[in-house]
Amino acid sequence: MAKLTKVMVESAITHNKEFLWDEEVRGFGIRFLASGRRVWVYRYRDTGHRWRQLKIGEVGVLSLTVAREQARSAAAKVQMGGDPAAERDAKRRSITVRQLAEVFDELHIGLWVKASTAAEYRRSLKLYILPAIGSKRVEEVTRADIARLHRDLGHKPTQANRTIEIASKMFSLAEEWGHRPEGTNPRKGIKKYPEKKRERFLSSAELTRVGEVLAEMEAERIEMPSAIAAVRLLMLTGCRLNEIMTLQWSYVDFKLGLLRLPDSKTGAKDVPVGEPVLAVVSAIPQLTDNPWVITGKLPGARLTDLQPFWQRVRERAGLKDARIHDLRHTFASVAAAAGMSLLVIGKILGHANEQTTKRYAHLARGTMREAANDVSASIFRSMSVGSGSRLSTDM
């Protein structure tokens, strides 16, 4: 065995043995394959004293100097208890973020995420996550990569925040599935952008105007009756758009005054409804072989898109900035102003988190102050009667 030189390497086209070893770096040498190819290798014993062999590269592609430095680097890892060949094998078995996204879609999005949310997941993956990091190996994605993705979407703060949360869920499952070490989620530590919550409540006059527009449209017989009914139900129930659009006749309990929704954003729930709601539902023709309350144009189908109709309603009513979801906010605001407790409002609307309902607390302050005044005045009167006090509540 001698120190390999450039001349030796160039002249050693064949060899009477399988390996030609280097004297300078122990375990480093050339392997002669039966096909005639020559490859640089580094051979060592792992922590279990088993022989392992690491292919460094092709002779003629990598120079002797570069290959020897690679061998030295591998030898240093071995000295520190590492296993370069095992690391190489693990990398070969690893998957890209694009491949992880396919598994994520199959095992999580397709099984556990509701359709509307699933669409947003897939949209964020396609438009933002995969173009940025799709080609990277899952274990190679760093916090800097996710921070860069978040920063690049800074002009869309809400989208940016949703996108990194979707990435976070995917990498959390990657740990569970063995594609990343536990506790290495690259989204961790990245601060979200502040989001401005847009809340628009229709005034009493605006509600009246919408009602008038719906009545006018109904009389004109141009718009679909089911679309008119859908908006009325959204206004009168506080339900989410999808809950009304997917309402089936079997969900309506006329006797108890309930909409028994088997599936909503927060799971199965019963929505209590009043007589006005039941009257609107009762006026809707129940078509044979069509289970949907809000029917579409095709036989047996439901109406799938209410947005174009709502655009025409709000244009005619002079409410160009009002969204369909604002009808839900309005229902909650009217309930709060009427003195209904936040707990009850949350139950009706199906809020999973009480913090969501607390956004309407300021709307109930006037009512709560009036209630507090009534209680204190009653106690004060009792106190005054017993003590003969001259104090008066007229302040």
Domain boundaries, the chain: 6-92, 97-176, 204-366
Report pLDDT for 171.
97
Amino acid residing at 309: F
Q: pLDDT value at position 367?
A: 53
Fold (CATH) for 204-366: hpI Integrase; Chain A (1.10.443)
pTM of the model: 0.56
**What confidence score (pLDDT) does residue 375 get?**
63
Q: According to the model, what pLDDT value does residue 366 have?
A: 54
DSSP, collapsed to helix, strand or coil, labels residue 268 as coil
Res 394: pLDDT: 47
> How far is Cα of residue 83 from the mean position of the Cα atoms in its chain?
38
Contacts 24+ apart (CB under 8 A), 224-229: 224/297, 224/303, 224/309, 225/284, 225/285, 226/284, 226/294, 226/295, 226/296, 226/303, 227/294, 227/303, 227/306, 227/309, 229/280, 229/281, 229/283, 229/284, 229/293, 229/294
Give me the CATH topology for the region 6-92: Double Stranded RNA Binding Domain (3.30.160)
CA distance 380 to 392: 9
| pLDDT < 50: residue spans in the chain | 387-395
Q: Is residue 249 a contact partner of residue 291, using CB atoms and an 8 Å limit?
A: yes
Query: What kind of architecture, by CATH, is found in domain 97-176?
Result: Orthogonal Bundle (1.10)
